Amino acid sequence: MSSVSVDIQPKNHYEILDGLRGVAAVLVVIFHIFEAFNEGSRFKQIMNHGYLAVDFFFLLSGFVVAYAYDDRWSKLTQWEFYKRRLIRLQPMVIMGMIIGAIFYYFQESSVFPQIATMPVWKLLLTMVIGFTLLPIPPSMEIRGWGEMHPLNGPAWSLFFEYIANILYALIFRKFSNKVLSVFVLIFAGLLINYTVFGPKGDVIGGWSLNLEQMNVGFTRLLYPFFAGVLLSRLGKLIHIKGAFWICSIMIVVIFWMPRFGDENTLWMNGLYESFSIIFLFPLIVAIGAGGEIKNPISLKICKALGDISYPIYIIHYPLIYWYMGWVIENKVPLKDGYLLGIGVLFASITIAYLCLKLYDEPVRNWLQNKFQKRRS
């Protein structure tokens, strides 16, 4: 029999959402650079809520996936959907693991004492497992932080992203808006229960393969992703001038807000983060999707930010491991370490851009031509 792969034309991009994803990705890098100076305390962050970028990404992903695929299932098999998502995401997952392996032995310090005695075969095994995004248990971890992807920590969120895509394709795409709304409300309740009434007062976590961290990961994933799907279906967009710049400022303010409360009033910060994820992030996406860019400079900025958003997110953390080890090992204060931190930021952007142009785009184009075009 002939092999046929359905050729589905891509829809137009939401340029502003692409740009906002880039803004959040750059802020993640800045957050992680500052995190080296927090003395291991969630109460001493400089960019206090930068980790909420992950929750914002989940919301954006749900919105974009529903926009791209909700009305195409009559032409699309589940395997075609999975194949498209793998082609979009997996090449940079592999590159992120390779970069993590290249930088691994340069990260040796008292912060990561296991590196000094780690055999190369175990590093390579971890890298190959990382290519699949399958999580490893703490007993196999080669860094000492208990991460499911110790060569490239942020890959944990891609692991949950894949789970969300599978849940969407198998179950949630079939729900009516009313049924989906019920689930979104339940997921919002789970988020509030964890952040406001839980033991931490924030959503930090999700990167380890144990019950506690998996609970955090699913709590962070379920509401924003499927709220994004619902928001896309409802189509309640907000049309205002200067949407990109207004939304960018909102993201910066949300991420930079001081942590609310202290060890004795954790619920205060939990309430702020729940409010941000449940209400403010959907508002930002509704404004961004409803906005229009007429200024060619703003359009170029959005495109550039959108292009590097995923590459910079998935490749920057190996540099952060090294930078964090240097700061902590040498007790470097912020006033002495910020210039190198700026260098890490620009190095991350440069590596991300090179990966995009020399690897990610060519590989994705080849995979699309081979597996997504109609062929007899």
Domain residue limits, the chain: 16-369
**Binning pLDDT at 50, 70 and 90, where does residue 189 land?**
very high
Check whether 372 has a pLDDT greater than 80.
no
Residue 371, pLDDT score: 86
Q: What integer pLDDT is reported at residue 1 of this predicted model?
A: 34
Binned at pLDDT 50, 70 and 90, residue 120 comes out as very high
Q: For residue 40, what pLDDT is reported?
A: 85
Query: What's the pLDDT score for residue 10?
Result: 61
pTM recorded for the entire structure? 0.95
Q: In the predicted model, what is the mean pLDDT of residues 179-185? A: 98
Say what percent of the chain tops pLDDT 70.
96
User: For the chain, what's the residue count?
Assistant: 376
pLDDT of residue 7: 55
* Model confidence pLDDT, tens digit, residues 249-275: 999 999 999 999 999 999 999 999 999
* Residue pair 358/310 in contact by the 8 Å Cβ criterion: no
Give the pLDDT confidence of 53-109 residue by residue, as tens digits. 999 999 999 999 999 999 999 999 999 999 999 999 999 999 999 999 999 999 999
CA 202 vs CA 32, 275, 304: distances in Å:
17, 12, 32
- Which has more confidence, 48 or 7? 48
> What does the mean pLDDT of the chain come to?
94
> Which pLDDT score is estimated for 373?
60
Return the closest-CA partner of residue 154 out of 309, 313, 45: 313
Q: Rounded CA gap, 213 and 143, in Å?
A: 17
**From CA 147, how far away is CA 179, in angstroms rounded?**
35
> 319-352, pLDDT tens digit by residue?
999 999 999 999 999 999 999 999 999 999 999 9
Between residues 345 and 373, which one has the greater pLDDT? 345
Q: pLDDT digits over 265-306, tens only?
A: 999 999 999 999 999 999 999 999 999 998 999 999 999 999
